[in-house]
Structure 1
Amino acid sequence: MKFLRQHPLSYEQHGRRSFFIADFYCHEASLVIEVDGKIHDLQRDYDEQRDLILKAKNLKVVRVKNSEVEENFNSVIEKIIAYL
């Protein structure tokens, strides 16, 4: 699942500038929402490292699974509201 508009978030690590494409980013709330598909089960270390970088930028990160969005959207909304 992808949002219609994605937002690149830049960072610097080991002297190199790079960026992530967030599924959803709300600047006003300093909130990043990532909707994870099955591939994320295989890349947990990468996702954890990415979350650490985003949190170091004072961003809150909410991760939800595709299946959560499809099967229980209201609980996803509640999870997001809890971060606001």
Structure 2
Amino acid sequence: IDPAIAHTTRRRALIDEFIVEKLRPDGVFMLQLIKINSGDVVTCELIETLWRRFVANRVNPPPYMEPLLSDKQKISSPESGL
């Protein structure tokens, strides 16, 4: 990740989301283990691949991320009597 892009508020929020919600503590720990065992180059390439997939999924989310029913098709609640 280019350090220059971290200076914009939107990019910083995106980086934070990537780390906190996608990698999470276990992912960060795994990356540290990979760095220790495989080196900086392999770890950087892996992070770059994960980042690119993360950004691509934000632009074009996979179909399973879409709701199964639209707002108009939602099943009525039992309280409504429908």
Larger % of strand: which? 1
- The higher radius of gyration belongs to 2
- Higher helix proportion (structure 1 or 2): 2
